[in-house]
Homo-oligomer: A and B are copies of this chain.
Amino acid sequence: MSLDSNADTAHLRETCIEPEAAWRGSFLDVRRDRVALPDGSTAHREYIVHPGAVMIVPLLDDGRLVVERQWRYPLQRAILEFPAGKLEAGEPVLDCAVRELVEETGYRAAEWARAGLLHNAIAYSSEGIEVWFARGLVAGERRLDEGEFLDVFAASADELDAAARSGALTDAKTLIGLLWLQNWRAGRWPLEWHGAPARS
Contacts and interface: CB of A to CB of B under 8 A. Distances in A.
A91 interface: no
B27 A30 contact: no
Total copies of the chain: 2
A172 B176 contact: yes
- A interface bracket (residues with beta carbon within 8 Å of B): 35 or more
A147 B38 CA distance: 9
Interface of A is mostly: mixed
Given A25-B32, A81-B122, A172 B170 contact: no
A48 interface: yes
B125 A78 contact: no
Given A27-B46, A120-B120, A125-B125, 14 more contacts: A3-B163, A5-B69, A5-B79, A5-B80, A9-B69, A11-B149, A12-B150, A48-B48, A79-B122, A117-B170, A118-B171, A121-B121, A121-B172, A164-B179
